[in-house]
Structure 1
């Protein structure tokens, strides 16, 4: 009986954390070095097609698909 209760609690905890980061896991950023502009690095999302520039190391944080296209 204790095992069943433990599994239910573990499932609920995993579901809460998975739902919390849901918006971020949809985007898969890929570097597009041909579009770099000086210190800005261009990234394109393989999932939604959004494009973003960042000056920091690594890809952008979060989905940018809701932003207007330029």
Structure 2
């Protein structure tokens, strides 16, 4: 009984503290020369940044430059 209550509590805490801005994002890192390009396999967004630090927000709604 205690295990069931603990499991339910764990799911509630994960739901409360999860980052909703990147819930669906799955970033893949491509490294080259100290920089990394990140591609989201969910929405296809592409960005660059430091190695080992994927974006913290979803970029799917960011308009493309030059459009």
TM-score normalised by L of structure 2: 0.59
Note the residue ranges of structure 1 that are not aligned, 5 or more in a row. Answer: none
Aligned pair partner of 1:28 in 10, 26, 29: 26
Distance, in Å, in 2 between the alignment partners of 1:66 and 1:44 is: 14
Give the C-alpha shift of residue 21 in structure 1: 1.6
Partner of 1:60: 55
- Runs of 4+ in structure 1 deviating by more than 3 angstroms, as ranges, are none
Relative to its length, the structure with more helix (as a share) is 1
Partner of 1:8: 5
Give the C-alpha shift of residue 30 in structure 1: 1.3
Q: Tell me if structure 1 keeps the 8 A contact 2:35–2:48.
A: yes
Distance, in Å, in 2 between the alignment partners of 1:60 and 1:25 is: 12
Q: What is the root-mean-square deviation in Å for CA atoms of aligned residues?
A: 2.8
Distance, in Å, in 2 between the alignment partners of 1:69 and 1:19 is: 32
Count of residues in correspondence between the two structures: 63
